[in-house]
Amino acid sequence: MIVVHHLENSRSQRVLWLLEELGLPYEVVRHARDPKTMLAPPDLSRIHPLGKAPAIEDRAAEGGGGPRVLIESGAIIDYLVEKAEGRLGPPANRDSVLRYRQFVHYAEGSLMAPLFGLLVSERMGTMGKPARGPILTMFGKHLDWLETELAERPWFAGDEFTAADIMMSFPLELARERAGLDEAYPNLLDWLERIHARPAYAAAIKAGGPYRYA
């Protein structure tokens, strides 16, 4: 059994979605953010010293030290795809394999960094306002590139929906709310509509509770 330690409105929503797509059994433990700081609660530190979400426990992999615990969205995605014998993993086509790997890492390695910068600048109030313009300009280059990528194929890795699309969901959902993803990017908006229409996506929302970016 996979136990998902889920923080509302966070990256952990992707883990629930992948589990639903794969049909793997799981249990959700919900953790609430501090209403003032919006940070993760201290009880997550009992699961992993960094107190991060998502974190999963694989109780089927228990050893002398207890369940196997994993953090980091990309590592968790890879682990679950492997448990499902490769379903929703890299396609057979070599170019699609490379794109799959690229977008699984790009989602956190490049795309989330400016979004986090925007969040910090917003919380700084007027002091952070000068940084917003340059960050949005930088992020616009990402959106421009991603729009052209989806002009060539329906999904990020290729012709098939994969876990790379699941990894890309959270930053692009954030971008629609706060970073300029609008009608100027019809391919990206169409992609968002298609992922939100998937039954497994709806089931993951039901399992995780209210999610502001859907």
| CB-based contact 120:129 (threshold 8 Å) | no
What is the rounded distance in angstroms from the CA atom of residue 95 to the CA atom of residue 93? 6
Whether 194 and 99 map to the same domain: the answer is yes
Residues 151 and 169 in one domain: yes
- Other Cβ atoms within 10 Å of 210 Cβ, number: 8
- The CA distances from residue 45 to 15, 26, 34, 71, 205, in Å, are 19, 21, 14, 12, 24
Instruction: Let me know whether 148 and 138 are in one domain.
Output: yes
Tell me, yes or no, whether 44 and 107 share the same domain: no
Start-end of H helices in the chain: 12-22, 73-83, 94-106, 112-123, 129-152, 163-178, 186-196, 199-208
Question: Both 128 and 189 in a single domain?
Answer: yes
Total domains in the fold of the chain? 2
Residue 152 CB neighbours (<10 A): 8
Q: Is residue 149 part of a domain?
A: yes
Please tell me whether residues 10 and 74 are part of one structural domain: yes
Q: What is the CATH number of the domain that holds 194?
A: 1.20.1050.10
Domain that holds residue 39: 2-88+200-208
Mapped onto helix, strand or coil, the DSSP state of residue 68 is strand
Contacts of 184 (CB under 8 A, 6+ apart): none
Q: What pLDDT is recorded for position 202?
A: 98
Identity of the amino acid at 194: R
pLDDT for 62: 61
Q: How far apart are CA 48 and CA 44, in angstroms?
A: 7
CATH number for the domain spanning 25: value is: 3.40.30.10
Residue 213 belongs to some domain of the structure: no
Q: Are residues 66 and 84 both part of a single domain?
A: yes
**Pair 153, 69 in one domain:** no
State which amino acid sits at residue 27: E
Please report whether residue 148 resides in a domain.
yes
Q: Is residue 164 situated within a structural domain?
A: yes
Q: Would you state the pLDDT for residue 2?
A: 95
For residue 10, give the nearest of 41, 49, 36, 47 by alpha carbon: 41
Does residue 152 sit within a domain? yes
Name which of 114, 120, 101, 105 is nearest 181 in CA terms.
114
Q: Are residues 63 and 99 in the same domain?
A: no
63 & 122 share domain? no
Q: Do residues 187 and 138 share a domain?
A: yes
- Regarding whether 121 and 193 lie in a shared domain, the answer is yes
* Residue 214 belongs to some domain of the structure: no
176, part of any domain? yes
pLDDT at 59: 85
pLDDT of residue 209: 93
Whether residue 128 lies inside any domain: the answer is yes
Question: Quick one: tokens of 201?
Answer: 């996506």
User: How high is the mean pLDDT in each 10-residue block of the chain (214 residues)?
Assistant: 93 97 96 78 86 90 75 96 97 95 97 89 81 90 98 96 98 95 98 98 96 90
